[in-house]
Amino acid sequence: MAHTSSTATELYCPRCEARYSLETIINLCRCGTPLLVDYDYDTAAEDLDRRLLLAREPSMWRYRELLPVQDDASIVTLAEGGTPLLKSAGLETELGLSNLYFKDETVNPTGSFKARGLAMAVSRAKELGLHKLIIPTAGNAGSALAAYAARAGIDCRVIMPRDVPVAFQADCRAHGAEIELVDGTIKNCGARVGELVATEDWFSVATLKEPYRIEGKKTMGYEIAEQFGYDLPEVIIYPTGGGTGLIGMWKAFAEMDKMGWLSGAKPKMVSVQSAGCAPMVRAFENGDETAEEWENPSTLAAGLRVPGAVGDFLILKAVRESGGTAIAVSEDDLMNDTIELAAKEGIFSAPEGGATLSALKKLLANGFIEPDDRVVLFITGTGYKYLDVLAEWTS
C-alpha cells in the first residue's frame, strides 16, 4: 500500500485503554466503547507547518497528516469541508454581542456536516476492502452515506424512521441506496441495523460505532482554529444528537495543543438539545457521567431526536472539561429561531441550527455568555431538507 503523510498509528479505547491495529476491521472496543484514532503528534508537528495549510485545497483533506486514510488512492471525496465562518450581519447587534459567528455547514455536499464524517468512514471502508455499508439515520447521515457510497461504488443500505422528512428518503433513493423505513426513532433503526449486521454481510457505520466518522468531524475544530488564527473563540454552541462533532472538535483542540498550535484557552463547549429529547442535558444537570435513555423522544429537529448516544460519556466529558454547559430549548423557540436565522442572517438552516440561536439567547439571559465573548453557532444542516416541516411552520 502506498502511504501518504498520515501520522495515524493505531486505534485506542478511551475507557479501558485497549489498542488495535489500523488494519483491524472493527466497530466498538471489546468493552463496548467507541474507539478513537491515535497519531504520532511529534512527527505531525514536524511534518506539518500550519502556515502551509493556506496553500492547500480548501477541503477537510488539507489536514491529511492528522487524518487516518493511509493511501491517497482510497480517498472518496466530494470536496467536503472548508466551510465558511460567517460574521453575524443582523442578530449580533440586536442581541448585544460584538463577536457572533456562524460556522455554515450547510454548504457541504449533501447539505450538512455529516458529509465530513461519512467521507472519512467510506474512504477507510474502501481502504479496508469493505463492500457493504449500513447506517441507522435520522436523515442527514443517510444522505451523506448514500452519496459517498455511490461515489466509491460500495453497496449501501439506509435504515430511517418512517416519519423522517421526505427529502431524505428521495435523496437516498436518488443515490442508489437501499432504504428501509422503520416505526419509531433512530434507536429502533439501530436495532434493525444490528439484526442485519448479524444475519447479512453488512458493516455498520452508525454514529461512533466505528472509529472514523469522528475523524472527519474533528476537521471542524481544525477549521475553526485556522479561521480564528489559532486563538480559539470563547464559546462554541453545538446541536447535539449523537454528539460526534462535539467530541471530534474537542479531540481536535487536544491534538493541536499537543502540537503547540494554540494560543490561549480552549472554547467552552455548549451542548444544545430539544426539551423533547434532552438526555445529555439531564445527565449534565444531575452530575452523571453517562446519560439514561430518554423516553418518548419528540422534536421536529430530526437530528436531535436521539434518545441515547453510545458516546454519551465523551460528550459529557468534553462539556465539563471545557467549562461548558448543556442546555435544552423548546420546540417553539428552536423553530421560530430557525426562521429568524433566515430572516435576519440569510442562513436557511435546519431546525438543529435554530436550536443554537435559542440556546444563545438563554445563555445571554443567564449570564453564561458575556457580550464581548466570541461565540460560534454551528449551523449543521440546510433547511432545504426540511421544506415540508418549515412550510407547515411558516404557513
- Give the residues across from 134 on adjacent strands: 157, 204
Does a structural domain hold residue 299?
yes
- Lowest mean pLDDT of 1-5, 11-15, 246-250, name the range: 1-5
Q: What is the pLDDT of residues 20-32, one digit of tens each?
A: 999 999 999 999 9
pTM over 0.95: yes
**194: exposed, middle or buried (Cβ count in 10 Å: 0-12, 13-18, 19+):** middle
Query: Does residue 49 sit within a domain?
Result: no
Residue 192, in any domain of the structure: no
Phi first, then psi, for residue 108 (nearest 5°) are -65, 160
What pLDDT does residue 2 have?
Answer: 44
Residues 225, 219 contacting (CB under 8 angstroms): no
Tell me the pairing of strands 132-136 and 155-161. Answer: parallel
Q: How many domains does the chain have?
A: 1
Task: Give tens-digit pLDDT for 110-138.
Answer: 999 999 999 999 999 999 999 999 999 98
55-82, pLDDT tens digit by residue? Answer: 999 999 999 999 999 999 999 999 999 9
Cβ atoms of 269 and 246 within 8 Å: the answer is yes
Q: Residue ranges of the alpha helices (H) in the chain?
A: 41-47, 91-95, 114-127, 140-152, 166-174, 186-199, 213-217, 219-227, 244-258, 279-286, 312-321, 331-345, 351-365, 387-394
The CATH code of the domain that includes 281 is: 3.40.50.1100
Distance of CA 387 to the CA centre of its chain: 22
Q: Is 204 a member of any domain? A: no
How confident is the model over 172-206, as pLDDT tens digits? 999 999 999 999 999 999 999 999 999 999 999 99
Interatomic CA distance for residues 38 and 297, integer angstroms: 35
Tell me: pLDDT of 3 over 50: no
Q: Establish if 342 belongs to a structural domain.
A: yes
Q: What is the extent of the structural domain holding 366? A: 85-112+213-394
Let me know if residue 249 belongs to a domain: yes
Return the residue matching grid coordinates 438563554: 362
In a domain, 45, yes or no: no
Q: Is residue 56 one of the residues assigned to a domain?
A: no
